[in-house]
């Protein structure tokens, strides 16, 4: 019985259409898989190609070229789709070369030299090569779940490619082709082979997709079960309508105390896990409205009747066609305790802040965020009026820029400023600000102490001191004038007295007058100690100033104290003046004076040395006592007092006969490096 080849071609076209439709549905279901869309394109091209073969009598040359081109392109599309489905990359250059060689050869043997036998050989060889490429991709598959199916499909492509190699050889050497539909064993076998291959490939690829999908679903199920069972939170699956529990995880048992035997098959109401059933109704209502809910806060009851505060995240899912709820409940007992502790801490902090006599203001970028009642009292505003106000509006105009600069720099140094009350009056405040972090943002907390009364007392004291200083100055001036008159009369007396005894008396009187004058001058200097606030002063600058005052010409001076400042009374110059003047007066043969520094763990030591006769052991013991010395004995005593204002000490550590060595010890915090040579 002869098989009608056109009939087989029609069947092939129908099978290709069915194949395209089947692949299209696979594409709609599994859009996440790469390559399935290419199968749809390839099958569609094959279907159109077979239809054009049946219509070749209408326009033989055009339809033959189009039909064969579509069949080859369809086979290439199937190859690309399979390669991408297997997460591989197709050999694009090979495809371009194969398609180019095919088109050139086919066109030439259609338009240039019309030879159906050679065209058949070219078509068969091209299709065989594409089939082998496809088989190699399938054999190189690394997705284990579809390896068996991929190997079977690869065998089909290898057989199909082998057949077309045989066809190419047979047509060229044994049975030349007269027409496409000329009945012959080789032509009939070709159409039957294509039909069988199409059916096998269709079923094989669909099976491969389903195998991969099933394997991934199984893997996803295992992952879900792993996550479900290992989650530390309480995870539960229950029916939406009646609350029957169908599954729980170990976290549920650990948190609630209920075992699987006590829960599976029973409802949430049976085990009475919800302390308020209306809460569950509210959760179910929210789920029905949105299909999910996040961080739903509720209170549950453990098996031992203890309370369990929890945050629930839930979603509606379908299991075997029935609506279920999968919920994950996080135990927030510790968080609740922490919140309560924090709340209690905030209350205690607020009570402490309100109880303090200092005004406290917390502000961010200058805007007040919180403050205590004392701050409200200081400025005369209510609490609500102060919130949101800019701190600069609470400062006297002359201090606005100062406060702005300190806030911008984040300064934590204390300072004094005048505050501006609501009624326009002003007050003095001792202020101290610090940076704090609240809610991840930088804030400043400023404390204010009303020092208005202290400032008034200081001003009154300064006025009293000023008056006393003026009185002392006038008194000293009058005494010095009287001393000048006394010493004048003593000089005149010496001219008229010749008796040695009386001349000795006059000499003693002159010495007493000189001592009185030096003591008055000391009183003037001592009165000035502490009347002016200490300040930072460059050591090297002080020494340079003293050197100019002494107008030294003989001794060489070495100053190795550059770049250091000390916090000291402004009368510090008298200290260095006394040291250097004593060297000149009492050092006998001083040719060199040296200043140097030595830093210890806690102190800075300023060292002064000369190369004079030094100080004896006996004199060292009384060196800083008032009244000791060859003149009035006030210089070193006064120096010690000046330095002590800021905690600085002075001692003499030189070796007798080898010059003096004075060590001025400056404690930590009273000195700083300036980083320059000033």
- CATH number at 290 reads 3.30.450.20
Residues 66 and 208 occupy one common structural domain? yes
Q: Helix, strand, or coil here: 293?
A: strand
Residues 201 and 293 occupy one common structural domain? no
Dihedral sign, CA of 530, 535, 539, 544? negative
Residue 130 in any domain: the answer is yes
Residues 6 or more apart in contact with residue 153 via CB below 8 angstroms: 82, 138, 200, 201, 204, 205, 208
| Residue 595 backbone phi and psi in degrees, to 5 | -115, 135
Spatial contact of 280 and 314, defined as CB atoms under 8 Å apart:
no
pTM equals 0.44
* Structural domains counted in the chain: 5
Task: Please list the alpha-helical segments (H only) found in 231-331.
Answer: 250-256, 260-263, 277-290
CATH number at residue 578: 3.30.565.10
Last residue of a domain, one of 385, 414, 446: 446
Residues 6 or more apart in contact with residue 131 via CB below 8 angstroms: 75, 157, 158, 160, 161, 164
Q: What is the CA radius of gyration of the chain?
A: 54
Q: How far apart are CA 83 and CA 380, in angstroms?
A: 82
Spatial contact of 179 and 116, defined as CB atoms under 8 Å apart:
yes
What single DSSP character describes residue 274?
B
Cα 339 to Cα 246, 308, 329, 334, 335: the distances in Å are 35, 15, 19, 9, 6
Q: Helix, strand, or coil here: 266?
A: coil
Residues 66, 67, 72, CA angle at the centre, nearest 5°?
A: 100
Specify the pLDDT at position 322.
Answer: 81
Residues 496 and 387 occupy one common structural domain? no
Last residue of a domain, one of 446, 471, 487: 446
Residues 127 and 47 occupy one common structural domain? yes
Q: How far apart are CA 141 and CA 152, in angstroms?
A: 12
Residue that the structure tokens 């092939």 belong to: 12
* Element counts in the chain: helices (H) and strands (E): 20, 18
Residues 6 or more apart in contact with residue 437 via CB below 8 angstroms: 443
Cα 651 to Cα 567, 605, 630: the distances in Å are 19, 11, 19
Residues 552 and 616 occupy one common structural domain? yes
Residue 350 in any domain: the answer is no
CATH number at residue 77: 1.20.1070
Q: Which residues pair with 368 in a beta bridge?
A: 363
Q: How far apart are CA 99 and CA 101, in angstroms?
A: 6
Residues 44 and 181 occupy one common structural domain? yes
Residues 430 and 378 occupy one common structural domain? yes
Number of CB atoms found within 10 A of residue 512's CB: 11
335's tokens: 């968080």
Spatial contact of 561 and 539, defined as CB atoms under 8 Å apart:
yes
**How are beta strands 556-559 and 592-599 bridged, if at all?**
parallel
Residues 122 and 43 occupy one common structural domain? yes
Specify the pLDDT at position 633.
Answer: 47
Specify the pLDDT at position 678.
Answer: 45
Residues 6 or more apart in contact with residue 589 via CB below 8 angstroms: 611, 612, 613
Residue 224 in any domain: the answer is no
Specify the pLDDT at position 505.
Answer: 73
Domain that holds residue 465: 455-528
Q: Report the first-to-last Cα separation within the chain, whole angstroms.
A: 121
Residue 345 in any domain: the answer is no
**How are beta strands 661-667 and 603-610 bridged, if at all?**
antiparallel
Spatial contact of 608 and 662, defined as CB atoms under 8 Å apart:
yes
Q: How far apart are CA 201 and CA 415, in angstroms?
A: 89
Provide the edge-to-edge strand list for the sheet that holds 426-438.
367-371, 359-364, 441-450, 426-438, 415-420
Q: How far apart are CA 514 and CA 492, in angstroms?
A: 17
Query: For residue 375, what is the enclosing H or E element?
Result: helix 373-379
Residue 341 in any domain: the answer is no
Residues 184 and 303 occupy one common structural domain? no
Q: For 292-331, where are the E strands, in sequence order?
A: 292-301, 307-319, 322-331
Provide the edge-to-edge strand list for the sheet that holds 661-667.
556-559, 592-599, 603-610, 661-667, 649-652
Residue 35 in any domain: the answer is yes
Q: How far apart are CA 274 and CA 245, in angstroms?
A: 13
Residues 589 and 494 occupy one common structural domain? no
Spatial contact of 6 and 54, defined as CB atoms under 8 Å apart:
yes
What single DSSP character describes residue 244?
B
454's tokens: 């202290």
Specify the pLDDT at position 352.
Answer: 55
Residue 53 in any domain: the answer is yes
Residues 542 and 607 occupy one common structural domain? yes
443's tokens: 């804030």
Number of CB atoms found within 10 A of residue 425's CB: 9
Task: Please list the alpha-helical segments (H only) found in 1-91.
Answer: 5-29, 36-54, 60-85
Last residue of a domain, one of 500, 528, 556: 528
Spatial contact of 387 and 395, defined as CB atoms under 8 Å apart:
no
355's tokens: 């109880």
Q: How far apart are CA 283 and CA 601, in angstroms?
A: 68
| Residue 245 backbone phi and psi in degrees, to 5 | -85, 130
pLDDT averaged per 10 residues, the chain (length 678): 66 80 81 83 84 72 80 89 88 89 83 78 88 90 84 90 86 67 70 81 84 77 67 81 83 85 84 83 83 83 85 82 82 76 64 66 86 84 88 88 86 86 88 80 84 76 62 65 73 74 74 69 60 84 87 85 88 88 87 92 92 88 74 70 88 90 92 73
Residue 79 in any domain: the answer is yes
Residues 466 and 440 occupy one common structural domain? no
C-alpha closest to that of 133 among 180, 173, 96 = 96
């Amino acid at each position: 019985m002869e098989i009608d080849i056109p009939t087989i071609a029609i069947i092939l076209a129908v099978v290709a259409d069915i194949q395209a439709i089947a692949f299209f549905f696979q594409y709609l279901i599994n859009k996440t898989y790469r390559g399935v869309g290419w199968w749809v394109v390839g099958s569609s091209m094959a279907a159109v190609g077979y239809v054009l073969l049946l219509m070749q009598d209408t326009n033989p040359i055009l339809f033959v070229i189009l039909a064969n081109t579509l069949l080859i392109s369809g086979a290439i599309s199937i190859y690309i789709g399979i390669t991408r489905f297997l997460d591989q990359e197709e050999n694009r250059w090979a495809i371009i070369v194969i398609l180019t060689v095919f088109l050139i050869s086919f066109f030439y043997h259609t338009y240039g030299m019309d030879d159906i036998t050679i065209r058949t050989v070219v078509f068969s060889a091209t299709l065989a090569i594409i089939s082998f490429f496809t088989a190699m991709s399938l054999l190189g598959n690394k997705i284990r779940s579809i390896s068996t199916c991929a190997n079977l499909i690869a065998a089909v492509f290898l057989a199909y490619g082998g057949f077309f190699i045989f066809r190419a050889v047979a047509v060229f050497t044994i049975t030349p082709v007269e027409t496409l539909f000329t009945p012959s064993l080789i032509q009939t076998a070709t159409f039957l082979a294509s039909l069988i291959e199409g059916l096998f490939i269709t079923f094989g690829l669909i099976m491969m997709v389903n195998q991969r999908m099933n394997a991934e679903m199984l893997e996803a199920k295992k992952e879900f079960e792993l996550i479900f069972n290992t989650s530390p939170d309480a995870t539960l699956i229950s029916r939406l309508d009646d609350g029957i529990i169908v599954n729980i995880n170990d976290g549920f048992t650990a948190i609630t105390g209920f075992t699987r035997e006590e829960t599976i098959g029973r409802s949430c109401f049976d085990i009475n896990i919800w302390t308020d059933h209306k809460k569950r109704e509210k959760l179910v209502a929210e789920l029905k409205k949105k299909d999910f809910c996040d961080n739903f806060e509720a209170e549950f009851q453990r098996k031992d009747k203890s309370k369990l505060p929890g945050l629930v995240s839930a979603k509606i899912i379908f299991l075997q066609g029935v609506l279920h709820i999968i919920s994950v409940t996080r135990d927030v007992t510790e968080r609740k305790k922490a919140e309560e502790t924090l709340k209690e801490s905030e209350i205690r902090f607020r009570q402490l802040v309100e109880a303090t006599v200092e005004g406290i203001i917390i502000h961010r970028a200058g805007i007040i965020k919180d403050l205590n009642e004392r701050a409200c009292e200081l400025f005369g505003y209510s609490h609500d009026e102060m919130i949101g106000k800019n701190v600069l509006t609470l400062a006297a105009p002359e201090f606005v820029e100062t406060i702005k600069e300190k806030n911008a720099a984040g300064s934590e140094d204390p300072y004094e400023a005048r505050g501006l009350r609501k009624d326009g009056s002003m007050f003095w405040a001792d202020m101290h600000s610090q940076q704090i972090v609240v809610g991840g943002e930088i804030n400043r907390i400023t404390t204010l102490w009303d020092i208005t009364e202290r400032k008034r007392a200081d001003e009154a004291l300064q006025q009293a001191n000023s008056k006393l200083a003026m009185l002392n100055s006038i008194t000293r001036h009058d005494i010095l004038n009287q001393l000048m008159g006394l010493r004048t009369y003593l000089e005149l007396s010496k001219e008229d007295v010749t008796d040695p005894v009386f001349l000795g008396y006059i000499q003693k009187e002159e010495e007493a007058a000189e001592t009185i004058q030096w003591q008055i001058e000391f009183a003037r200097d001592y009165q000035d100690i502490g009347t002016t606030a200490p300040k930072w002063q460059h050591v090297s600058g002080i020494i340079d100033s003293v050197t100019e005052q002494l107008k030294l010409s003989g001794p060489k001076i070495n100053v190795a104290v550059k770049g250091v400042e000390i916090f000291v009374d402004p009368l510090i110059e008298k200290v260095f003046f006394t040291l250097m003047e004593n060297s000149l007066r009492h050092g006998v043969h001083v040719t060199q004076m040296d200043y140097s520094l030595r830093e210890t763990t806690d102190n800075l030591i300023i060292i002064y040395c000369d190369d004079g006769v030094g100080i004896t052991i006996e004199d060292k013991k009384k060196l800083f006592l008032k009244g000791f010395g060859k003149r009035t004995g006030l210089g070193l005593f006064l120096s010690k007092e000046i330095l002590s204002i800021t905690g600085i000490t002075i001692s003499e550590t030189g070796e007798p006969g080898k010059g003096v060595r004075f060590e001025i010890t400056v404690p930590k915090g009273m000195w700083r490096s300036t980083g320059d040579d000033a």
